Amino acid sequence: MNILIVGSGGREHALAWKIAQSPLVDTVWSAPGSLAMDRIGPCFDVKADDVENLEKLALQLEPDLIVIGPEAPLAAGLADILRARGFDVFGPDREPAQLEASKGFAKDIMARLGVPTAAYGRFTEPEDAKAFLRTLDAPYVLKADGLAAGKGVVIAPTLAEAEAEAEAMLGGKFGEAGAELVIEEFMPGEEASVFVLTDGVNRLTLPACQDHKRLLDGDEGPNTGGMGAYCPAPVMTEALLKQVDEEISEPMIEGLREAGHPYQGVLYIGLMITPEGPKVVEFNVRFGDPECQVLMASLEDDIVPALLACATGGMPQRDFTALMPKLSEARPAATVVLATNGYPGAYEKGSVITGVKTADEIEGVTVFHAGTGVNEAGDWTAQGGRVLSVTAVGDDLKQAIDRAYAGVDAIDWPQGVHRRDIGWRALGKSE
């Protein structure tokens, strides 16, 4: 079979790499893909949010499965359009994709279905927002309702700062995405990400991951799209995973189906493990980046039957192991993101990166590319904020992390920055 992947980041490179290993697959096409993805299969110069031309490309290529990586085309209805054309699509329709595109929408559904999450209010008027803030305790969590590239959440330590932030956000700080404001109760605890594959009825939970959202070691500095991740995350015990399945995954997937919007794809559950149990921080409607890189490296099973089952229906009822028998043996995996100095703010493009091949040749290591080009001399160059995701598997998490850092250390890129402490919480737990 032939599979078309939509997207161009580290997540999509990892998906292409894993999908290409399937004995079921002849060709992996990507749109727009990247230079790194082009080494796996042909790339087509159509942007991931160019819904009209992606539809044309699909009609021309007639792929057996289309895997949509990022959230923007899902929120814009690409999956609906392709399904209406008869394609099998991995990724939810526009309506359920609002779980990510509108935080207020997600909160309302969780409230209706009784899914555990922080208490909240939705506001368009600064005065109402401020009145609600005064009913909460510090710190205060303020979120732009719409898609803001992971930057729309502010945690304000004092009431005065929270009130000023509410004014700024409703005053246009995040543009359209901030026309509505969601204010939440602060949830203390450790975070984890759980990824559930579903055909709208049945579900299969992948090994739990932990992302590192802050730029600097010790979880300091600004929030980013993610500077590293690992799996399985020991914070998610069997008992907690079962609780998440029963209290979150099942009611969400059932609730969406009953509302006439069956969810087909991967539901990303961002969790806070609070003293009262796991609660939802956010939903995303796609794989995490860089969590996808560790999951694809970790899973020994062929992912393609599972992706296909989500797209076509027909996941065996509750029988997770029928699709991925080695799921419970998922190998420990870790990834370290190399970003251009300046990210998540302004940064320069074009700096030369050497040693990627050496890193790739280390046992257990795979380097996924998120934003690279090639110069005239044939060297890789940095073309984005997050640029490489150095990923490794190991017999245990420590070995996976050590190998990932051996990969990082083989790479010479003076303009690059990365964290040195990926996995610190898990390593602390195992000591």
Do residues 327 and 320 lie in contact, with contact meaning Cβ atoms separated by under 8 Å?
yes
DSSP string spanning 98-114?
HHHH-HHHHHHHHHHHT
Applying CB under 6 A, among 61, 136, 147, 153 the residue interacting with ligand AMP is 153
| Residue 238 DSSP SS3 | helix
Choose the binding region for ligand GLY from 88-96, 106-114, 118-126, 285-293 (rule: CB under 6 A).
285-293
197 forms beta bridges with 204, 266
The item of ligand AMP, ligand GLY, none sharing an interface with residue 284, based on CB under 5 to 8 Å by kind, is: ligand GLY
Q: Is 187 in the site for ligand AMP (CB under 6 A)?
A: yes
The item of ligand AMP, ligand GLY, none sharing an interface with residue 159, based on CB under 5 to 8 Å by kind, is: none
DSSP string spanning 243-261?
HHIIIIIHHHHHHHHHTT-
Q: Is 289 in the site for ligand GLY (CB under 6 A)?
A: yes
Q: How many residues bind ligand AMP (CB under 6 A)?
A: 13
Please give the angle made by the CA atoms of 396, 363 and 294, to the nearest 5 degrees.
55
Applying CB under 6 A, among 9, 96, 225, 332 the residue interacting with ligand GLY is 225
DSSP string spanning 11-79?
HHHHHHHHHHT-TT-SEEEEEE--HHHHTTS-B----TT-HHHHHHHHHHH--SEEEE-SHHHHHTTHH
What are the tokens at 93?
Answer: 């329709």
Q: Which is nearer to ligand AMP, 282 or 302 (CB)?
A: 282
Choose the binding region for ligand AMP from 33-41, 180-188, 323-331, 369-377 (rule: CB under 6 A).
180-188
The item of ligand AMP, ligand GLY, none sharing an interface with residue 184, based on CB under 5 to 8 Å by kind, is: ligand AMP
| DSSP state at residue 212 | -
Choose the binding region for ligand AMP from 5-13, 37-45, 183-191, 384-392 (rule: CB under 6 A).
183-191
Applying CB under 6 A, among 7, 63, 200, 288 the residue interacting with ligand GLY is 288
CB of 244 to ligand AMP, least distance (A): 16
Q: Is 132 in the site for ligand AMP (CB under 6 A)?
A: no
Which residues, in sequence order, are CB contacts of 185 under 8 Å at separation 6+?
Answer: 118, 119, 120, 136, 141
Q: Which helix (H) or strand (E) holds 361?
A: none
The item of ligand GLY, ligand AMP, none sharing an interface with residue 50, based on CB under 5 to 8 Å by kind, is: none
Positions touching ligand AMP (CB under 6 A) are 118, 141, 143, 150, 153, 184, 186-187, 191, 213, 270, 281-282
